[in-house]
Structure 1
Amino acid sequence: MKTLLKTTALVLAFAGPAIAGGHETWKTVDEDSQIAFGSIKSSEFGEVHTFDALSGSVNEKGEVAVSIELGSVETNIDIRNERMITHIFKAADARAELTGSVDFDAVHDLEVGATTVVDFEGALSLVGVSADVEAELFVARLSEDRVLVTTSDMIMLSTYDLGIDAGVDKLKELASLEGITRVTPVTVRMIFEK
């Protein structure tokens, strides 16, 4: 889950440079943005989960700030949503915060319809733990005022690095599972506009 949060933050960060062209702040179109992450139970059951409530911005200096509402996790099973909020995120109103910076010059002159790939580096803060985040993002300029940012490849995040192994152990116990993978693939889809 934390891995997904990191990935989402990275995508937001990359969208900023593609739409930078002046001194405006670019903000996410929250209803069109989503972070997805996968899990594998007992080495054979794969599932996809999402965070549906997130917001972010990139200013003219290339400073990125992204906030993810952890209580918006959707696993398609109500009791599992509740257990994740309680045992992984610790509170329904918990948030993950991603901060970092991007080089606006890398995509400053991206024309409408053009695409590019950019690198992002930052830090993700989740449930009292901060972890470094790196990602490669695909940026497409949809219009003068709007860009799409997605992960170029899957991002693989470690539950150990995010400090949530104990919560995953509890989920495994409650669901009577032989195991839950400790590395999570994450993808991000975000729209930014000014």
Structure 2
Amino acid sequence: MRAFHLAAFLALGLVAAPLAVQAQGAFDAGWTLQPDASVLRFQSVKNETKVESSTFATFNGEISEDGLATINILLDSIDTKVDLRNVRMRFLLFETFQYPEAVITAQLDPEMLADLPQLRRKIVPLTYTLSLHGITQEATTEVAVTLITSDLVSVASSAPVSVATSLFDLDSGVAKLEEAASVSILPSATVSFDFIFSRTTRTAPLVAAAPVIAEPTKAAIEPQGNFDLAACKGRFEILSRTDNINFGSGSARLEPQSSFLLDSIADIVSRCPGLRIIVAGHTDSDGAASANQSLSERRAASVVSYLVSQGVGAGRITSVGYGEAQPLVPNDSAQNKKRNRRIEFAVADG
């Protein structure tokens, strides 16, 4: 469960790289990030002592001629080296169905690295903004900028960048990861990176002058094509924990925000051919048991209706309601009651 790890943050470092340009003009023609020659990693800690390292496979960036740096990180490309861990990170932590990217921006000052052609390497402060999970925060870090050639610049973390999940409303996602994997996770992560930028006008291939860099992960996003049975079952178990399918109080009408997740679910169902999917509705214990039973059935049926409207075959998906009969936790607090009001997904046996 490599927790979140705002790998995004480390990206902010690469933002400074292009400053390293030569005296002819720091941002002449702009600079472009070379992802195949760059590395982006984040580290998380689970069960107090176990450190795990993960990456993002897909990111890009540029620095415009006026010094505005922008970095985009595709959060669906999270790579923990384990398929279902990746799925948990996408759906339970980052909620990529609604927040697909992390975006880092910074306005660069060419004077900051005016002496880089002579020094060749310099550690500089960088103020940046990070937009992640619908929240934007400003922070400052330090990056090591190395002038490799007149057309190549490396920007690397001078020390691990620590990021607290609470800054981006990710604590509930961390709790979901902990429950799904039966582990404890430190609610912060450290990010490290080494990015290579080239002048946008560069036509020659990136070669020789660059230092040796660890081979980056080429692709970690959801694989194309159909899933096998284990992958389908694992995904539906994870989807049942998202808590992103919502209804009005006492109503079976889906709230508009639910469509972000339901559209992703429709895609997954379509890639599990030959399987029959069960959608189960559950409520808390407030109100009469008979009313809760009816409400759970109607809510599950609303989800099925939506998925069918998105192309899922009606004969492949059925609904069932359990009312208040199967609580996850005691109905003794508002938070617990919210957890018990849920929609679950499963592959039907046989």
Structure-2-length-normalised TM-score: 0.52
| Residues 51-102 of structure 1 deviation map (CA, whole Å, 9 limit, x = unaligned) | 1211111123221100001111111111110110111222268111111112
5+ unaligned residues in a row in structure 1: which ranges? none
Give the conservation status (yes or no) of the 8 Å contact 1:2–1:126: no
User: How much does 1:7 deviate?
Assistant: 1.7
- Percent of pairs identical after alignment? 29
3-state SS of 2:166 partner? coil
How far is the alpha carbon of 1:150 from its aligned partner? 0.2
- C-alpha contact 1:48 1:75 (8 A) present in aligned 2: yes
Please state if 1:176 is matched with 2:182. Answer: yes
CA contact (8 A) 2:5 2:188 kept: no
1:150–1:188 contact (8 Å) kept in structure 2: yes
1:61 aligned counterpart, secondary structure = coil
Residue 36 (structure 2) aligns with: 31
> Which residues in structure 2 correspond to 1:149-160 (within 5 Å)?
149-160=155-166
Q: CA deviation at 1:110?
A: 2.1
Q: Of 16, 19, 24, which residue of structure 2 is paired with 1:17? A: 19
TM-superposed CA distance for 1:113, in Å, is 7.7
More strand as a share of residues: 1
1:188 Cα deviation (Å)? 1.4
Letter in 1 for 2:173: G
Which sections of structure 2, spanning at least 5 residues, go unmatched? 200-350
The whole-number CA distance in structure 2 between the counterparts of 1:7 and 1:16 is 15
TM-score, normalization: structure 1? 0.92
Distance 1:191 1:31 in 2: 9
Counterparts of 1:183 and 1:88 in 2: how far apart (Å)?
Answer: 13
Any idea what SS the aligned residue of 2:195 has? strand
Structure 1 residues 133 and 3, CA gap change in structure 2 (3 angstroms):
farther
Aligned equivalents of 2:171, 2:150: Cα separation in 1:
43
**Aligned length, in residue pairs:** 192
Offset, 1:33: 1.8
Q: Aligned partners of 1:90 and 1:5: how far apart in 2?
A: 15
Q: In the TM superposition, what is the alpha-carbon distance from 1:2 to its structure 2 partner?
A: 4.7
2-side partners of 1:121 and 1:161: how far apart? 16
Distance across 1 between alignment mates of 2:74 and 2:85: 17
- Distance of 1:170 and 1:112 partners within structure 2: 51
State which of 151, 156, 179 in structure 2 corresponds to 1:145: 151
**For residue 133 of structure 2, what is the aligned residue in structure 1?**
127
Q: Does structure 1 retain, via aligned residues, the 8 Å contact 2:166–2:187?
A: yes
Who is 1:69 aligned against?
74
What corresponds to 2:49 in structure 1? 44
Q: Contact 2:72/2:102 (CA < 8 Å) preserved in 1? A: yes
Structure with a larger share of its residues in helix:
2
Shift of 1:112: 7.7
Structure 2 Cα separation of the partners of residues 58 and 108 of structure 1: 17
The answer (yes or no) to whether the contact 2:5–2:43 under 8 Å persists in 1 is: no
Q: Distance in 2 between matches of 1:14 and 1:78?
A: 33
In structure 1, C-alpha distance between the alignment counterparts of 2:73 and 2:107, rounded to whole Å: 18
1:161 aligns to what SS in structure 2? helix
> Is the Cα–Cα contact under 8 Å of residues 154 and 187 in structure 1 kept in the other structure?
yes
Structure with higher RCO (Cα < 8 A, 6+ apart): 1
Counterpart of 2:162, as a letter, is: M
The alignment partner of 2:185 has SS state of coil
Per the alignment, residue 259 of structure 2 pairs with none
Letter in 2 for 1:166: S
Relative to structure 1, the CA distance from residue 71 to residue 190 in structure 2 (aligned partners, 3 Å threshold; closer, same or farther) is same
